[in-house]
Amino acid sequence: MSKTRVFRFAPSPNGLLHLGHALSAMLNHDLAAACGGRFLLRIEDIDPARSRPEFEAAIYRDLAWLGLSWEQPVRRQSEHLAFYGKALERLKAMGVLYPGFLSRGEVKARVEAREKAGGAWPRDPDGAPLYPTEERHLDRDEAQARIAAGHRHAWRLDMEKARALAPAVLDWQEAGEGPEGETGTVTARPERWGDVILSRPDAPASYHLAVVLDDAAQGVTDVVRGQDLFHATAVHRLLQSLLGLPAPRYRHHGLVPGPDGKKLSKSNRDTGIAAYREKGFLPPDIRALLAGYGLVLH
């Protein structure tokens, strides 16, 4: 007997769901239904500064209106901080984390100085400058003293050390495609992200850490999500490898274009699922709208 497949839709309650979320949620739901699999909903409220109960309530309302149903109880990341904390301690014990003390302003100043001098500063797949690597080798006692003195810091992954601990070839199975049409066996290049944050004082687990731990804890076999997270999969594969977690199959889908051809944003009320509902649209109209963008719902 083949294993029951487990799909999940994992929104963050920091804004209203838009058409892109509708696509992700319906794809996950329909793919699960087509293979007799399970469909889970996970609330990714790991960042307390950005998560709001009213957005969580809107998620349930919008998904129910779309005609979707999901298993109970819903996992909420804010209820599993100790679980993420344990994994963080394991990574610290492996020696692949270090405290980074540089502020955003300090990083910006370094980038600007280098670029003014005609040099190039490496950037991640989203275009953000990589964090400087100078603190990787900061003296342990000095780092401890700074932490004890209350200096603001984030725990960062030493990408070089982490990469060295993982298999030389790290890849994933892509059933959808990346922004450049990448599909099939895709080589993960987590080093493109530099020393990513895994924990900050105000958000004890980063998206990257919580997502891989939850996918494994919930037995997720299939991760179906927007292409904007395609490159992040490389970091997820690295963390799965370090923590001995299984690799799900991935399927990244195309993004729904905004009215101005730009990326849809949760802060734009006009393209929210609720706005369509208020304008008199019905769920089949939403499916037709998505199909009109060439986004296939199967």
Binding site for ligand GLU (CB under 6 A): 10-12, 44, 211, 225, 229
Per DSSP, the residues of 249-284 read: EEEEEPPPBPTTSSB--TT-GGGBHHHHHHTT--HH
Rounded least distance, CB 211 to ligand GLU, Å: 5
Give the C-alpha distances (Å, rounded to integers) separating 239 from 163, 189, 210, 212, 292: 10, 12, 10, 7, 37
Nearer to ligand GLU, 10 or 273 (CB): 10
C-beta of residue 9 within 8 angstroms of C-beta of residue 25: yes
3-state secondary structure of 41: strand
CA distance linking residue 63 with residue 218, whole number of Å? 20
Nearer to ligand GLU, 25 or 170 (CB): 25
Nearer to ligand GLU, 7 or 155 (CB): 7
Rounded least distance, CB 178 to ligand GLU, Å: 15
C-beta of residue 46 within 8 angstroms of C-beta of residue 90: no
Rounded least distance, CB 248 to ligand GLU, Å: 10
Exposure of 39 in the CB half-sphere (CA atoms within 13 A): 19
Nearer to ligand GLU, 11 or 204 (CB): 11
Rounded least distance, CB 237 to ligand GLU, Å: 13
Rounded least distance, CB 44 to ligand GLU, Å: 4
Nearer to ligand GLU, 98 or 193 (CB): 193
Rounded least distance, CB 10 to ligand GLU, Å: 4
**b vs e for 83-95, b when ≥16 Cβ sit within 10 Å of the residue's Cβ?**
ebeebbeebeeee
Rounded least distance, CB 276 to ligand GLU, Å: 19
3-state secondary structure of 88: helix
Nearer to ligand GLU, 135 or 182 (CB): 182
Give me 101's structure tokens. Answer: 């003390």
Nearer to ligand GLU, 50 or 151 (CB): 50
Given CA atoms 225, 226, 227, 230 in this order, what sign does their dihedral have? negative
Give me 58's structure tokens. Answer: 């809107």
